[in-house]
A and B are shown apart, each in its own frame.
Chain A
Amino acid sequence: MARGADGGDGARVWQHVFLLPEYLKDASKKMKSGLVFVKLANPCSGEGTIYLFNMCLPQLFEIKVFKEKNHSWFINESVQSGGLLHFATPMDPLFLLLHYLIKADKEGKFQPLDQVVMDDMFPDCILLLKLPELEKLLRHVTEEKEVDKKKYYKYSKEKTLKWLEKKVNQTMAALKANKVNVSARVQSTAFFSGGQVSSDKDEDYVRYAHGLISDYIPKQLSDDLSKHLKLPEPPASVRNPPSKKAKLSDEPVMAKEDYTKFNSKDFKTVKKNSKMTAAQKALAKVDKSGMKSIDSFFGAKHVKKK
């Protein structure tokens, strides 16, 4: 079944493979337009990052990309290089607002929101002001004053840490529900002893969840949160997130042109369907404390803007 090409060489157009929340499909019945990819400041790195914004609700989605070496798609009767898989998942806008609140806090005074959320680099940030229940959101991270029916806000570190702690607890619950293995040590031993029940400590969960949340907040705040959660200092070997270290060997097991080089080592020790990739072996070696960055879910760092 050939794809309806849009125009002469339409099939040469880049095809993006996306997973979108189902309700966007239903919501689209009432929409003429209003789904827009915009560039906003990433709350962790400050760099421009693509988000999807639904103007009608309004609602914010983050875009994550699964990207691993050596993949391509067959899409109907066409081939698409790269093998990327994009996820659009709902995002808590407070992380993005926090970025601006912290920046504005250097002036140390109460300010109206439209003076806080301003950005020459990423003017689309004003879209954040359209979001519903903004006042309720801001209560988690700011002190507010009301003068002449106008609200003024000031960043509160204390409140923010409390809010982040709740986020960590929420994330921990999901990690447990999803049976995400938060301890690399368990991963490698389970691999040899036939998948025993893991004995993950709560501390491992806290650290793992803290690592996930840290991808949405500035480094300084992440360090403060770690103190707030009373996480012990990680050993020096894992100061750098493991996902970065593992990158060097982030190549899946692949046959080379020369078949004799086909990972004979792996074949001897591996049971069917439980092969560890080189990357995971590297991860199991360096990562003894389970702090994870979200990137570990997606196989590669995000593509950076030139």
Chain B
Amino acid sequence: MENSYEETIDKRRVHLRPDTLRDPAPASLHLLPCEVPVNRPTPVGRFFTPAIRLGPDGLEASFRGRSLRGEEVVVPPGFVGYVMTEEKAEVLAKQDDHERQEQELVEPPEALERDCDRFMGATASFSSFTVWGLESIPGPDAKLRGALSWPSLAAAIHAQVPED
């Protein structure tokens, strides 16, 4: 293929750097039952984690004065959890950068859609995370549990069928 052609296609792609998948540092993740509308560093280890207790029916914690109940959820077998971030392209115009940040604070970027070439890398990995519910642990029919059963179902949907 011609190089120029490759390049035009690349404009629409987001590359994931495979080397970052090898052994990123483990991260601890908590899925909260509320929306915190910002993305930024926050002293989780100072306020949240030290207050987690093991009660009679799972983990107990509180956030903004509300009581939370949680439990550890393991990543589906055969999968690895990663936290990925975009690597900033070095030649981004200042204004563009500013606009993007504003957009990011308002709404999630549409799942990885960007109109110029970008790179992502894994910054951390996890094999389980803690899911929290308000006052009680999210039950067996919580949406999240349905989603976690998806990989095994997807495997069946997309497995090759035998030929006649």
Contacts and interface: CB of A to CB of B under 8 A. Distances in A.
Interface of A: 1-7, 10-22, 24-25, 27-29, 31-39, 50, 52, 62-66, 68-87, 89-92, 123-124, 136-137, 139-140, 162-163, 166-167, 170-171, 173-175, 177-178, 180, 187, 212-213, 216, 252-255, 272-277, 279-280, 294, 296-299, 302-303, 305-306
Contacts of B161: 140, 163, 166-167, 170
A62 B25 CA distance: 26
B94 interface: no
A96 to B, nearest CB: 11
A229 to B, nearest CB: 15
Nearest to B11: A123
B86 A13 contact: yes
5 contacts: A13-B88, A72-B31, A75-B29, A89-B150, A274-B141
Interface string B101-124: 100100011111100000010111
Q: Is the interface of A mostly helix, strand, loop or mixed?
A: mixed
B9 interface: yes
A6 B87 contact: yes
Contacts of A66: 143-144, 147
A58 to B, nearest CB: 14
A20 B48 CA distance: 28
A94 B127 CA distance: 31
Contact of A171 (B87, B142, B156): B156
Contact of B113 (A5, A39, A71, A280): A39
B51 interface: no
Contacts of A276: 139, 141
A170 B163 contact: no
Interface of B: 8-9, 12-19, 21-22, 25, 27-45, 48, 57, 66, 75-76, 78-88, 101, 104, 108-113, 120, 122-124, 134-137, 139-144, 146-147, 149-164
Contacts of A27: 18
B85 A10 contact: yes
Contacts of B40: 11-12, 78-79
Contacts of A252: 33, 143
A50 B112 contact: yes
Contact of B84 (A16, A163, A279): A16
A87 B111 CA distance: 12
A302 B27 CA distance: 27
A274 B140 contact: yes
B82 A15 contact: no
B113 A29 contact: no
A69 B34 CA distance: 8
B39 A255 contact: no
A222 to B, nearest CB: 14
A90 B33 CA distance: 30
B21 A25 contact: yes
B152 A178 contact: yes
A15 B24 CA distance: 14
A162 B162 CA distance: 11
Contacts of B76: 19
Nearest to A35: B16
B18 A33 contact: yes
Contacts of A177: 152
B139 A275 contact: yes
Contact of B35 (A72, A75, A166): A72
Nearest to A276: B141
Contact of B43 (A5, A77, A299): A77
A31 to B, nearest CB: 4
B157 A33 contact: no
Given A73-B31, A89-B154, A297-B147, A28 B18 contact: yes
Given A17-B81, A298-B143, A33 B15 contact: yes
Nearest to A170: B156
A188 B57 CA distance: 25
Contact of B32 (A11, A13, A71, A303): A71
Contact of B158 (A79, A90, A136, A187): A90
Sorted nearest first, the 9 A-B pairs with minimum C-beta distance are: A174-B156, A28-B18, A166-B161, A89-B154, A66-B147, A37-B14, A74-B30, A31-B18, A35-B16
